[in-house]
Amino acid sequence: MSITSEQTEHVAKLARLALAPEEIALYTRQLAQILAHMHVLSQVDVNGVEPTLHVIPDLANVTRPDASRPGLGAELAVANAPEQADGYFRVPRMGKEG
Amino acid sequence: MRYEAVIGLEIHVELATASKLFCACRVEFGAPPNANTCPVCLGLPGSLPVLNAKAVEHAVKAALALNCRVAAVSKFDRKNYFYPDLPKGYQISQYDLPVASRGLVEVVVGEVTRRVGIRRVHLEDDAGKLVHEGPAQATVAEAVSSLVDYNRAGVPLIEIVSEADLRSPEEARVFLEEVKTLLQYTAVSECKMEEGSLRVDCNISLRPCGQTTYGTPVELKNLGSFRSAQRALAYEIERQAQLLDEAGRVVRETRHWDEARGVSIALREKEEAQDYRYFPDPDLLPMVFDPGWVERMRAALPELPRQRWRRLVESYGLSPYDAGVITASQALADFYEDTVRAGAGAKAAANWVMGELLRYLNAQGTPAGEFPTTPDHLAELLALVEAGRISGTMAKSVFEEMCRTRQAPSQLVQSKGLEQLGDRTELAPVIEQVLAENPGVAADYRAGKEKALGFLVGQVMRKTQGRAHPRLVNQWLAERLRER
């Protein structure tokens, strides 16, 4: 399995990680090793094996009735926000990326 | 070159529940910012989601109304992206095992009946709302900072994805109306576009007429109404056709519709699905839909608009057009049928519901589903007209009064003395008076000018404040004029 430095940069950007050039080289190598390791798993014959949807088997449809109850309230909700205004969280403007 | 438009829609619909999809916070439009939030919908560490049973039921009902197949097994996945309105850093959505798929909706546009496939219906949680700070009405780019309200974060949504089966902006609008009506009939959503409980994105590409492969799609966002969706699509067809003619290609991107200026603006390059790095949400268990339960849901569906439309045409003898207007709203169709059940004639009731009632509702801006009068009162009013006790014209003012005061029409007619005058001894003096006052006109009539009679009838009507029975006045006036 190989991975290009462009792919590393791309996933870093998706994860909002700012990487230095030497880090990109380092992580490209490491990611290639991880992918190679995962590749071993893909060699297992899984014909006729149902995909595992959850680690707890045979448990499904766990729901709650549709009843509301009071939440934290605005004051508590924003209490730990670095910046707040009138019950809102205040965040820096979005970049052009949106 | 001549091009064909290929259009597919994504419709996001807020489900009518009391609480959010994965927590018990209240779902409420217009609450103070962040009033309805908790650790789960704020994405605080250590909080765990628990699925709302009602939201699942609504999603399945909507899917059945859209003729979809409900999955045997369905699960939730995380859609990962960063934006301040998404506190968890991911949206809980569904990737490869949606609640339902392969549906079908029929839309009639003019002479064309178009079968529009529904690719899938899936459940997901909504994001919060951003208010941009900065110059008045700042755009994202001009904003200094943004304020975030997470009341909407975690509200249950279904996303309905259509196949790219639509071929014109008008077809797209009619399809949207059809879907909205279906959802309102099944009571899974209020579908209030003005409150954002129904939102639409359009995917549109052009291809030369006759070509079977697809062109490069563009996604249109920020469509505030079905009308603006239609306008935006029409604009986009023009824009893409020009690009194809001049440059031979269209850029795959997301564009923002500016309704005020009537143009679309490039927003960003369209994301690839893999960039969202979907993976199964380990905090949530799968949904397994028992076929017996699904059938019970199907049986519990109300009569849907198409079926009702057909029944109104077949058993009430309404025209397809009239039946379409009446069944576009379930509440209006209920009102209509209740009026007929209360004894009104099917055709007369249809005319009044589509005419006076709709006019009154539109003029007053009455909220959907609320009526200023009752089917019993309307039926009573129509019976008064039928029996000749009031004239058709008078009935219209009685209707207005009935809506304003909520009084029964017979009461209003009596208390205001609006009953039609059809008694000869009462009307004869008025006829004599009119003839005496208009000798010239009477002479014209006698000289063969038949139209003059209309003027004299009008005078009698005026003197009786419109209460005289026009047909009888006509008859008696003519008789009286022939006497000499």
- Do the Cβ atoms of A64 and B147 come within 8 Å? no
- Do the Cβ atoms of B35 and A66 come within 8 Å? no
Name which CATH class applies to A5-42: mainly alpha
pLDDT in tens, B246-261: 988 898 999 999 989 9
User: B91 - beta bridge partners?
Assistant: B79
Separation of CA A15 from chain center: 8
User: A84 - beta bridge partners?
Assistant: A89
- Do the Cβ atoms of A71 and B149 come within 8 Å? no
List the domain boundaries for chain B. Answer: 3-296, 303-415, 424-483
- For B107, which DSSP code? E
Q: Which residues of B touch A77 (CB under 8 A)?
A: 34, 37, 42, 150
Name which CATH class applies to B424-483: mainly alpha
Phi-psi region of B369 (alpha: psi -120 to 50; beta: other; left: phi over 0): left
With the CA atoms of B94, B72, B68 and B214 taken in that order, what torsion angle do they form, in degrees rounded to the nearest 10? 50
Instruction: Tell me what pLDDT residue A72 has.
Output: 93
pLDDT in tens, B21-31: 999 999 999 99
Q: Give the whole-angstrom CA distance, residue B127 versus residue B88.
A: 10
Q: Give the whole-angstrom CA distance, residue B234 versus residue B227.
A: 11
**Nearest-CA distance A5 → chain B (Å):** 16
Of A60, A77, A97, the CB nearest to B286: A60
Q: Give the whole-angstrom CA distance, residue A16 versus residue B81.
A: 10
Q: Are B25 and A68 in contact (CB under 8 A)?
A: yes
Instruction: Tell me what pLDDT residue B140 has.
Output: 59
Residue linked to tokens 């539109």 = B362
Instruction: Tell me what pLDDT residue B136 has.
Output: 60
Instruction: Tell me what pLDDT residue A97 has.
Output: 43
Residue B147 contacts A where some CB pair is shorter than 8 Å: yes
Print burial letters for B69-106: b (CB count within 10 Å at least 16), e (below 16): ebbeebbbbbbbeeebbbbbebbbbbbebbbbbebebe
Nearest chain B alpha carbon to A53: B286
ipTM here:
0.91
Tens digits of pLDDT across chain B (484 residues): 889 999 999 999 999 999 999 999 999 999 999 999 999 999 999 999 999 999 999 999 999 999 999 999 999 999 999 999 999 999 999 999 999 999 999 988 888 889 999 999 999 999 999 988 766 655 656 667 899 999 999 999 999 999 999 999 999 999 999 999 999 999 999 888 888 889 999 999 999 999 999 999 999 998 988 999 999 999 999 999 999 999 888 989 999 999 899 999 888 776 677 889 999 999 999 999 999 999 999 999 999 998 999 999 999 999 988 999 999 888 899 999 999 999 999 999 999 999 999 998 888 877 777 898 999 999 999 998 888 788 788 888 889 889 888 888 888 888 777 777 777 888 888 888 888 898 888 888 888 888 888 888 888 888 887 788 888 888 888 888 887 5
Tokens found for residue B385: 């007209």
- A96 pLDDT more than 60: no
- Do the Cβ atoms of A68 and B143 come within 8 Å? no
List the domain boundaries for chain A. Answer: 5-42
Q: Which of B17, B18, B370 is nearest to B188 (CA)?
A: B17
Instruction: For residue A79, give every residue at least 6 positions away whose Cβ sits within 8 Å of its Cβ, in sequence order, or none.
Output: none
pLDDT in tens, B334-362: 999 999 999 999 999 999 999 999 998 88
- Do the Cβ atoms of A93 and B25 come within 8 Å? no
- Do the Cβ atoms of B73 and A53 come within 8 Å? yes
Q: Give the whole-angstrom CA distance, residue B268 versus residue B273.
A: 15
